[in-house]
């Protein structure tokens, strides 16, 4: 997945990814306080990175995030003031003051190039999916290890992700899959009752997640009654509850349990047929997968609304090439 993600990422345009990371041995170590800290760390890195969390769900042993990664500007276009502002979102005030003093001192000695090099260390970490997840997992590991007097790795492996493409309906279905996780797990009856998710946080009056829900519901410029947009999303989630049972896909057009797991374990990209085929052709042209004839087509019937996915079956140890699956979610 690492090789595919490298080539699916495109810093020249806005992209959306569904990301999941699981605790080693799948141990249930995230209680209420831990989930609250995960939320806090997530919001800190959101402010620093420029990536937007559209929605999320903190479960007992894993985390789901739906991340919008904006087009990455040229490093020189990220001003010093913006760097300091973003660093202040994720680091203590004392750290920011020391950084400001360091840069100011270099400029005072005429070392503008050295000052820019220091700032570039932070600029390079912005607007980047991998850097966001690296920082998130490192900070959570450090906090959990201190809290539980443990050492070593916390996470099972590298995070899993797939690219979400196409119309807003695709993005909305993926968001619904994430926010319905606690309902699917039997933890709550209604998605809004689970406070460690994007919808749960926002339905309780939290303001930080409203921008993401506006985006999911395609009201990104709505500055009026934000609660009305949240309510519409809640209605959407309730309309999708019929297929949250284990393994069921009774609601056509919904991402059910098995389809969601399949995407997370082996997915590369989900979206409309044209875009999925376009991404797969690019990977084929790069030699990462073999043959256009195996690109996803119109097979499958779980979604009859034109949403397709491409998945890998396994990675060859000798060639590094990907085998492709095909079908509709």
DSSP state string for 177-231 = HHHTHHHHTTS-SSGGG-TTBHHHHHHTT-STTHHHHHHHTT-TT--S-HHHHHH
> With bands split at pLDDT 50, 70 and 90, how would you rate the model's confidence at 224?
low
Q: Is the confidence at residue 147, as pLDDT, over 80?
A: yes
- Distance between first and last Cα of the chain: 19
Average pLDDT over residues 206-224: 79
> With bands split at pLDDT 50, 70 and 90, how would you rate the model's confidence at 312?
low
The answer to whether residue 208 is domain-embedded is yes
Q: pLDDT at position 301, please?
A: 29
Average pLDDT across the chain, whole number: 81
262 and 247, same domain (yes or no)? yes
Q: Which residue has the higher pLDDT, 111 or 13?
A: 111
Q: Residue 130's CB: how many other CB atoms inside 10 A?
A: 16
92 and 68, same domain (yes or no)? no
For the stretch 255-269, pLDDT in tens is 555 555 555 556 678
For the stretch 78-87, pLDDT in tens is 999 999 999 9
55 and 68, same domain (yes or no)? yes
Distance, CA of 151 to chain centre: 26
> With bands split at pLDDT 50, 70 and 90, how would you rate the model's confidence at 5?
low
Q: Is the confidence at residue 305, as pLDDT, over 60?
A: no
Q: How many domains does the chain have?
A: 2
265 and 218, same domain (yes or no)? yes
292's enclosing H/E stretch is: none
54 and 167, same domain (yes or no)? yes
164 and 37, same domain (yes or no)? yes
The answer to whether residue 268 is domain-embedded is yes
Q: Are 191 and 180 within 8 A, CB to CB?
A: yes
- Phi, psi dihedrals of residue 271, rounded to the nearest 5°: 165, -160
Q: pLDDT at position 206, please?
A: 85
Q: SS3 for 245?
A: coil
Cβ contacts of residue 112 below 8 Å, gap of 6+? 106
Cβ contacts of residue 80 below 8 Å, gap of 6+? 103, 119
82 and 177, same domain (yes or no)? no
Q: Is the confidence at residue 89, as pLDDT, over 80?
A: yes
For the ranges 15-24, 61-70, 296-305, the lowest mean pLDDT is seen at 296-305
> With bands split at pLDDT 50, 70 and 90, how would you rate the model's confidence at 297?
very low
Q: Which residue has the higher pLDDT, 217 or 218?
A: 217
Model confidence, pTM: 0.84
Q: Residue 287's CB: how many other CB atoms inside 10 A?
A: 10
% of the chain surpassing 70 pLDDT: 74
How far is residue 278's CA from residue 283's CA, in Å, rounded to a whole number? 9
Q: Which residue has the higher pLDDT, 165 or 2?
A: 165
80 and 61, same domain (yes or no)? no
Q: Work out the angle between the directed axes of helices 226-239 and 168-179 (0-180°, nearest 10).
A: 80
Using a 10 angstrom Cβ sphere, with 0-12 exposed, 13-18 middle and 19 or more buried, the burial of residue 74 is exposed
Q: pLDDT at position 158, please?
A: 86
Cβ contacts of residue 290 below 8 Å, gap of 6+? 284, 321, 323
61 and 37, same domain (yes or no)? yes
Q: Is the confidence at residue 166, as pLDDT, over 80?
A: no
Domain residues for 112?
Answer: 75-123
Q: pLDDT at position 81, please?
A: 97
The answer to whether residue 262 is domain-embedded is yes
Q: pLDDT at position 50, please?
A: 95
31 and 100, same domain (yes or no)? no
Cβ contacts of residue 72 below 8 Å, gap of 6+? 11, 12, 126, 127, 128
């Amino acid at each position: 997945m690492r090789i595919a993600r490298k080539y699916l990422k495109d810093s020249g345009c806005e992209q959306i990814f569904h990301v999941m990371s699981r605790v080693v041995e799948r141990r249930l170590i995230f209680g209420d306080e831990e989930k609250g800290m995960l939320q806090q760390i997530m919001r800190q890195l959101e402010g620093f990175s420029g990536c937007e969390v559209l929605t999320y769900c903190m479960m007992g042993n894993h985390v789901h995030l739906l991340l919008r990664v904006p087009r990455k500007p040229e490093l020189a276009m990220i001003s010093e003031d913006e760097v300091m502002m973003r660093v202040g979102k994720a680091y203590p005030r004392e750290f920011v003051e020391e950084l400001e003093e360091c840069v100011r001192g270099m400029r005072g000695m005429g070392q503008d190039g050295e000052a820019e090099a220091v700032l570039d260390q932070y600029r390079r970490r912005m607007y980047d999916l991998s850097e966001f997840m690296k920082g998130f997992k490192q900070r959570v590991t450090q906090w959990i290890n201190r809290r539980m007097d443990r050492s070593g790795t916390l996470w099972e492996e590298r995070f899993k992700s797939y690219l979400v493409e196409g119309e807003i309906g695709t993005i909305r279905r993926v968001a619904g899959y994430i926010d319905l996780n606690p309902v699917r797990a039997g933890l709550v009856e209604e998605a809004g009752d689970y406070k460690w998710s994007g919808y749960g946080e926002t339905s309780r009056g939290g303001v930080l997640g409203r921008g993401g829900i506006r985006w999911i519901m395609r009201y990104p410029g709505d500055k009026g009654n934000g609660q009305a947009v949240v309510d519409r999303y809640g209605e959407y989630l309730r309309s999708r509850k019929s297929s949250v049972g284990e393994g069921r896909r009774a609601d056509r057009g919904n991402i059910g349990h098995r389809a969601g797991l399949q995407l997370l374990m082996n997915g590369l990209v989900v979206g409309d047929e044209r875009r999925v085929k376009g991404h797969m052709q690019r990977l084929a042209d790069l030699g990462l997968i073999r043959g256009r004839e195996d690109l996803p087509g119109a097979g499958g019937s779980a979604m009859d609304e034109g949403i397709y996915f491409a998945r890998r079956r396994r990675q060859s140890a000798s060639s590094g090439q990907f085998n492709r699956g095909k079908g509709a979610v």
